[in-house]
Amino acid sequence: MRVTLLQHTPLEVCAHAIRTCWQSYGKSDNGGEIDRCLIERVGNHNRHSSTLEHLFYTFYIQEISRLLLQELARHRIASLSVKSTRYTLKELKEEAPFDRFDERAQKYLISSGDETVDGMSVKALDNLRILLAVGISNDRAKYALPESYKTELTWSVNARSLQNFLTLRSKSNAHSEIQNLTFAVYEALPEDHKYLFSKCLTEK
């Protein structure tokens, strides 16, 4: 799994939005520390969390399973642009048969951590390869995709929704792959933004 932060909104935009409510402009100084305290007090402590929606983050998330993608789609107040199976399954078409969870299979599959499950994923991968090799269209063949099939996406989310995501998905009862994603996303955040999210994380 790889998570790259592509862009983010500066904190002063959120501070400006908060000051709009009280018309208290012109008080940002001390290297932005007053803005940081203002956002923490209003957005987090006083729970006017709608003001955090002015902060946006865009991440490039690579080497995750379609199982994780399905979990991620439950967090609806976000935008996802996902690698298309309609156009990219051709990458599998010319492969030789797969018979074990080796380095070649790992190019396409995420390991579950269970040898038996991973073995079945390889069988599903080879079935998919066969469908493509005999000329079944990508649109039909993708019904046979295993949940472990690798994908990637660009994910944009505001700070309020990201807090919700990190709170829910860092818990020990979350699926291990999406739990790992929460910590990777947090680590990819700008250092001066992490204070807004640090209390959302459950210790791993």
Please give the Cα distance from 35 to 134 (Å, whole number): 61
Torsion angles phi and psi, residue 63, rounded to 5: 60, 55
Torsion angles phi and psi, residue 57, rounded to 5: -135, 140
Catalytic residue status for 76 = no
DSSP state string for 136-188: --HHHHGGG--TTBEEEEEEEEEHHHHHHHHHHHTSTTS-HHHHHHHHHHHHH
Please give the Cα distance from 86 to 170 (Å, whole number): 32
**Residue entry with tokens 């400006």:** 16
Q: Which two tokens stand for residue 173?
A: 């009862």
**Which residue of the set 36, 66, 129, 169 is catalytic?**
169
Active-site annotation, residues:
169
